[in-house]
Amino acid sequence: MEGSISNYSFKQVVKVSRTDRWEVYRRLQELEIPCQCQTNQELTVEVSNIATAVQVWSVVRQLNAERQDLIEILEECWHYRYHKL
């Protein structure tokens, strides 16, 4: 499909606190998501598809979400996976 987002790649600045920036950067590197983070600079991520965007969102959310919210999400996933069968 011409003009779809899957044909494009763009750089996105990820707004995270200075203390979390390197942790997010290292996790994105582990996921093999192209990103850059220089000293005293913002974290920039190359987003080439929707899966990458979701992964970036998930990494950042894990740092910003309350512990109880993350527990509830895991419980819902577990319930859906094992009780839907």
Q: Alpha-carbon distance 13 to 45, whole Å?
A: 6
pTM for this prediction: 0.70
Query: Residue 21: its pLDDT value, please?
Result: 92
**2 pLDDT tier (thresholds 50, 70, 90):** very low
Q: Angle of helix 18-30 relative to helix 50-64, nearest 10 degrees?
A: 140
Indicate the CATH number of 5-83 among 3.30.1540, 1.20.120, 3.30.1370, 3.40.50: 3.30.1370
Higher pLDDT, 10 or 53: 53
Residue 19 above 60 pLDDT? yes
